[in-house]
């Protein structure tokens, strides 16, 4: 039987999904499982790593079995929520603590102390990142310092750690492979993005023992194969990338100047800068876009911590029932020019502000403002935060913002034509909305397809990216600028 199918595993923040793709990028079947999050304290967010692995195995099995084409699967591609990290026992395979999620802010004081001590410029020079609890290093150190005996066991080589890709690969291969890819490694605060290896200097600064860490491979590489009993036969794992870099690939952004934004729980915007490693003056992140055949391409990235999560808050916090569609219907009923501004800094502010202590606020309320206006302002907050990122990228990479500059979007919120148009209106940019939303999984599949020899290059693989609808700004410039001015007035008010 010809092996021309690719099985993608997308381990996300709120769900785990597997999708079977053919060589043309068409979905042939999928399965998903929800993922519980726990909030032990204010600002803390945790996952059960065992639950994550169980969900990964369940969805892989379901798709493989229901398709009836397991023998035609050439390879598995894996993509994952980045920065979320777990530490486990090398011998037993059991996590020693719940996985600490990328949204978690428990190490904010540690990061603040390192900033005060003057370490941030050097950290940024080496890693491309900023000192923020968002990233993995301080989470790892926190676990080692809180679990009795963990630090000594780590230094002796008795413990392993990794982001979710690494954990799942280790489990799928029966503990044979402890590896991650360069995109995930570049999100840890421990990886030298110039040398493309773990940085002894950063390991020392963050007090993370080297024996914990996985080997760093390319996005297209040999990650071993699944244990035979899991899927009925060993299946090679040939592609891995963090979720946002996978989505960049899935959107076909393989050339310098191409950019995408994914609107899920948070929003993550990346612009490909090619082999040139950009230096941000606007507190954006410099990250690895991909590493293929030993060649590294880079991206500027801006991260918004709360996007789709703000729409969830309308239901869970304000009692808007009926899910996102009901929230959108409510927002569309809002009075024009209502002047309400919502800043959804529930777990701090991401780029370009990077304020872990900021908290949400609602401004501009009048006697005739109600739930519709608050709902509309919540949707607009996602677009206005995007404008912040665009302005920062425009300052750092002006050559990428010519007249043809376009933002390719995907993720749950982009399924709404109304929100997508609002995004174009409030950012002033042309928006290209993917017709197929699971571009993160698709990107992982395309990397694996290159690794399995189904495509000759990433450029050829990118031709399987989905068709799209283009939306242009439709409101007058003065209305757009007035909305942004209100936003810029509100943001400083939530910074404690």
Confidence grade of residue 469 (pLDDT, cut at 50, 70, 90): confident
Please determine, for residue 95, whether its predicted confidence score (pLDDT) is greater than 90.
Answer: yes
Confidence grade of residue 60 (pLDDT, cut at 50, 70, 90): very high
Confidence grade of residue 348 (pLDDT, cut at 50, 70, 90): confident
What does the pLDDT look like over 237-272, one tens digit per residue?
Answer: 999 999 999 999 998 888 888 899 988 888 989 998
Question: What is the predicted pLDDT for the residue at 225?
Answer: 96
Please determine, for residue 208, whether its predicted confidence score (pLDDT) is greater than 80.
Answer: yes
Question: What is the predicted pLDDT for the residue at 151?
Answer: 96
DSSP letter, residue 492:
G
Please determine, for residue 317, whether its predicted confidence score (pLDDT) is greater than 80.
Answer: yes
429-451 mean pLDDT:
90
Question: What is the predicted pLDDT for the residue at 90?
Answer: 95
**What is the pTM for the complete model shown?**
0.86
Higher pLDDT, 97 or 4: 97
94 in Cβ contact with 160 (< 8 Å): no
Please determine, for residue 404, whether its predicted confidence score (pLDDT) is greater than 70.
Answer: no
Nearest to 429 by CA among 496, 379, 477: 477
Please determine, for residue 218, whether its predicted confidence score (pLDDT) is greater than 90.
Answer: yes
Please determine, for residue 483, whether its predicted confidence score (pLDDT) is greater than 80.
Answer: yes
**Burial status of residue 483 (CB atoms within 10 A of its CB: 0-12, 13-18, 19 or more):** buried
What does the pLDDT look like over 99-132, one tens digit per residue?
Answer: 999 889 899 999 999 999 999 999 999 999 999 8
Question: What is the predicted pLDDT for the residue at 274?
Answer: 87
**Burial status of residue 190 (CB atoms within 10 A of its CB: 0-12, 13-18, 19 or more):** buried
Q: How far is CA 207 from CA 210, 230, 425, in A?
A: 9, 37, 46
Average pLDDT score over the chain: 92
Region of residue 186 (phi > 0: left; psi between -120 and 50: alpha; otherwise: beta)? alpha
Question: What is the predicted pLDDT for the residue at 456?
Answer: 92
How, if at all, do strands 341-343 and 295-304 pair?
unpaired
Share of the chain above pLDDT 70, in %: 99
Half-sphere exposure of 416 (CA within 13 A, CB side): 23
Highest mean pLDDT among 39-48, 128-137, 195-204, 343-352: 195-204
415/410 Cα distance (integer angstroms): 8
Query: Which of 10-24, 213-227, 426-440 shows the lowest per-residue confidence on average (mean pLDDT)?
Result: 426-440
Please determine, for residue 283, whether its predicted confidence score (pLDDT) is greater than 90.
Answer: no
DSSP 17-71: EEEEE-TTS-EEEEEEEE---B-SSTT--EE-HHHHHHHHHHHHHHHHHHHT-GG
Confidence grade of residue 354 (pLDDT, cut at 50, 70, 90): confident
Question: What is the predicted pLDDT for the residue at 402?
Answer: 64
Question: What is the predicted pLDDT for the residue at 435?
Answer: 80
Question: What is the predicted pLDDT for the residue at 4?
Answer: 87
43/357 Cα distance (integer angstroms): 9
Please determine, for residue 400, whether its predicted confidence score (pLDDT) is greater than 70.
Answer: no
Confidence grade of residue 52 (pLDDT, cut at 50, 70, 90): very high
302-324 mean pLDDT:
88
Range 264-286 burial, b when 16+ CB lie within 10 A, else e: bbbbbbbbbbbeeebebebbbbb
CB-based contacts of 271: which residues, under 8 Å, 6+ apart?
257, 258, 259, 299, 300, 393, 397, 400
69-75 mean pLDDT:
88
496/494 Cα distance (integer angstroms): 6
Confidence grade of residue 403 (pLDDT, cut at 50, 70, 90): low
Nearest to 47 by CA among 39, 37, 34: 37
Please determine, for residue 184, whether its predicted confidence score (pLDDT) is greater than 90.
Answer: yes
45 in Cβ contact with 107 (< 8 Å): no
420/344 Cα distance (integer angstroms): 19
Higher pLDDT, 137 or 411: 137
Confidence grade of residue 91 (pLDDT, cut at 50, 70, 90): very high
Question: What is the predicted pLDDT for the residue at 255?
Answer: 85
101 in Cβ contact with 36 (< 8 Å): no
């Amino acid at each position: 039987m010809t092996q021309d199918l690719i099985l993608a595993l997308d381990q996300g923040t709120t769900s785990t999904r597997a999708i079977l793709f053919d060589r043309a990028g068409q979905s042939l079947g999928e399965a998903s499982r929800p993922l519980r999050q726990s909030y032990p304290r204010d600002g803390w967010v945790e996952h059960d790593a065992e639950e994550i692995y169980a969900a990964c195995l369940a969805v892989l099995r379901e798709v493989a079995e229901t398709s009836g084409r397991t023998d035609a699967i050439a390879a598995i591609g894996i993509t994952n929520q980045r920065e979320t990290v777990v530490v486990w026992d090398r011998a037993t395979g059991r996590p020693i603590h719940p996985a600490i999620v990328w949204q978690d802010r428990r190490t904010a004081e540690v990061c603040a102390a390192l900033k005060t001590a003057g370490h941030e410029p050097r950290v940024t020079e080496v890693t491309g990142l900023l000192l923020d609890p968002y990233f993995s290093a301080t989470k790892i150190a926190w676990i080692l310092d809180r679990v009795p005996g963990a630090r000594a066991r780590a230094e002796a080589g008795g413990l392993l750690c990794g982001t979710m890709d690494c954990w799942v690969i280790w489990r799928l291969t029966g503990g044979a492979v402890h590896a991650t890819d360069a995109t995930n490694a570049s999100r840890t605060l421990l990886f030298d993005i110039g040398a493309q290896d773990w940085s002894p200097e950063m390991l020392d600064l963050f007090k993370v023992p080297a024996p914990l860490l996985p080997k760093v491979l390319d996005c297209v590489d040999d990650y071993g194969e699944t244990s035979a009993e899991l899927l009925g036969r060993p299946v090679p794992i040939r592609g891995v990338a963090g979720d946002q870099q996978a989505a960049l690939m899935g959107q076909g952004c393989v050339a310098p100047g191409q950019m995408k934004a994914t609107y899920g729980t948070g929003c993550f915007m990346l612009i490909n800068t090619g082999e040139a490693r950009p230096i941000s003056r606007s507190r954006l992140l410099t990250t690895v876009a991909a590493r293929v055949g030993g060649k590294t391409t880079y991206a500027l990235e801006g991260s918004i911590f709360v996007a789709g999560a703000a729409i969830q808050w309308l239901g869970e916090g304000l009692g808007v029932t009926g899910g996102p569609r009901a929230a959108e219907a409510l927002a569309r009923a809002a009075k024009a020019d209502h002047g309400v501004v919502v800043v959804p800094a529930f777990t701090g502010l991401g780029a370009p502000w990077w304020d872990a202590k900021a908290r949400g606020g609602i401004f501009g309320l009048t006697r005739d403002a109600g739930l519709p206006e608050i709902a509309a302002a919540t949707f607009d907050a996602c677009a206005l935060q995007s404008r912040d990122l665009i302005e920062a990228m425009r300052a750092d990479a002006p050559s990428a913002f010519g007249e043809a500059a376009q933002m390719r979007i995907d993720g749950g919120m982009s399924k709404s034509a109304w929100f997508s148009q609002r995004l174009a209106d409030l950012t002033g940019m042309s928006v290209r909305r993917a017709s197929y939303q699971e571009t993160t999984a698709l990107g992982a599949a395309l990397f694996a397809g290159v690794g399995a020899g189904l495509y000759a290059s990433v450029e050829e693989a990118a031709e399987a990216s989905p068709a799209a609808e283009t939306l242009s700004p439709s409101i007058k410039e003065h209305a757009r600028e007035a909305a942004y001015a209100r936003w810029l007035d509100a943001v400083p008010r939530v910074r404690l």
